[in-house]
Amino acid sequence: MTFDMNDVAPQQSGDLIPDGTFAKVTMSIRKGGTDGMSEVDRGLLKPSNQPGSDVRMVDAEFTVAEGPFARRKFWQNFTVQGGKHDEQGQSIGWKISKSQFRAMIDSALGLNPEDMSEAAKAKRMLRGLADLDGITFVAKIQIEPNRNPAYKDANKLDHVLLPTAPEWQKVMSGEAVPAQPSHKSRPAAAPAQSAAPAWGQSQPAAAPTAAAWNAPAPTPQRPAQSETPSTDAPKTGGGTQPSQGPAWLNP
């Protein structure tokens, strides 16, 4: 048996996609082995790796669909169950993720976010979160600084571009759009420990991890994740669930 290495993509450098890049991206969901609330979400969700946490997430892989950074990838988790609650007892992480998912649908289908016609509302109905697998939309990509300088920074989703944004039409038409960097600075490192003898020092606190999600405009700034149990579960919308797949897979 032989292996033909001529048709594979060239090796990619470790350079990040420039901060503030606008691009069309496709989201794929990497199954985490935990069942969601819907029949089509069996084995879909990823549990938190924090002991005692009730957080469940969608583990998303984003691939740039076209342009100078085509085929480049980045990854991001979206909380869909558990975590910190609001005053109504709802998962704050799920509310933020739900807003992002709706924006993805509007961006993918060219829907005005203010369009609440029956036709538009029907296109936003999902059988489950698994229906978002394969959705292609316009995104602004950021570089998120790692709080721990020992680890590399990473590309993340800054926010989803809606059809009302001037850059959306340009990207959809294949036009180059200049990047608009967010100029986020690396968080300050923890203060250095004193040079006292080892037996006289207290154990340093563990460095905080990077944020688990990014709040899209115009949603509020994302909160810190909490490990408080939640009774809220994601819902796929009111009314009758669609019998077929999502509109972006069934035009």
| pLDDT, tens only, 98-132 | 999 999 999 999 999 999 999 999 999 999 999 99
Q: What is the pLDDT of residue 174?
A: 93
Q: End-to-end distance of the chain based on CA atoms, in angstroms? A: 41
Q: What sign has the CA pseudo-torsion 49, 50, 51, 53?
A: negative
Split at pLDDT 50, 70, 90, the class of 63 is very high
Q: What is the pLDDT of residue 247?
A: 57
For range 20-42, the mean pLDDT: 96
Q: What is the pLDDT of residue 117?
A: 97
Split at pLDDT 50, 70, 90, the class of 219 is very low
Q: Which residue has the higher pLDDT, 219 or 46?
A: 46
Split at pLDDT 50, 70, 90, the class of 52 is very high
Closest listed residue to residue 137, CA positions, set 116, 114, 158: 158
Instruction: Please give the structure tokens belonging to residue 132.
Output: 């978002």
CB-CB contact of 241 with 125 (8 Å): yes
Q: Which residue has the higher pLDDT, 76 or 237?
A: 76
Q: What is the pLDDT of residue 7?
A: 72
3-state helix, strand, coil in the chain (%, to 5): 15, 20, 65
